[in-house]
Structure 1
């Protein structure tokens, strides 16, 4: 199976060192790939990371964000069987954005993915340690109301089972290597369950 990961800088795996953004050595995509290789054997499943820093789902659908293509056009140029989408952090900074609008964009993307007979996974954003967290939670709640949505619930599981999460956000937004590894493990559980259901 081929798994394509879309999203923002936290999907890319960026961290902050002082005032500088750096590519973390272990983004969630790398942890996911390693865990899939460990379970199924190297090369059986292939993970591709298409994350773009600073992006929103609005931009992904409405602009040529991916080398002159929107997310659907980009997806059509690749052979991914499973599409994972992780936008929401930057969307929380968009003035006037609402939970209903955010839900509508995700519904549109889910429908595009499933019309191509691919499986869609919504990966909820990691929590924020700043004033925009409440807005992001509202957007996330809106998306989770979509019918028959498969969710890799990073947001809820981190808040519930990772009490020290805020200490592992370098700037209140971007995880460090420890928290990125956690995200990768949570993502693996969901992706693996989808792989197993597709194999039946």
Structure 2
């Protein structure tokens, strides 16, 4: 899901979406707590963090109502929708900026759905080299978790094990109000920490 927090859409100059804008991250992007991302520096240089709540499906899901949507989840994870912004904006499709090898770290845990009372009431935080970059809450989503699942299930069948990143709040490098060439994009040697309340602290390094 892209642009699912109002202030994040505003900081990037993106109109508030009328329907959830979905994009792909493929299996090659999967990464883990304590992992590394080898930056594809021959293709891109504008690397950015996006801490997100991740939903993991436990049941096949097709044409479900918002009321029943959360019943199809196995649980939740802390994730980071790591992005190469120059590739993301190279064309009208986000995919090539989102699905390089290792660009989908998640963990350290899969927290079962029964242990998360309300996925849309969790504190969220990002730190880069110990400096706080994002500090917000999932209660500010434009489309909440129930709405996202119901919408997606009406256009595709979601399978057990499918992973759904739900969007990031403001505080990303892409939203800084300075020229793109002057922004301090992420680089080899940086450590990124993503935190979701009750779901654990995801750490990874860039090489």
TM-score, normalised to structure 2, is: 0.30
- Kindly indicate which of the two structures has a greater share of residues assigned to strand: 2
TM-score by length of 1: 0.31
Higher relative contact order (CA 8 A, sep 6+): 2
**More helix by proportion, 1 or 2?**
1
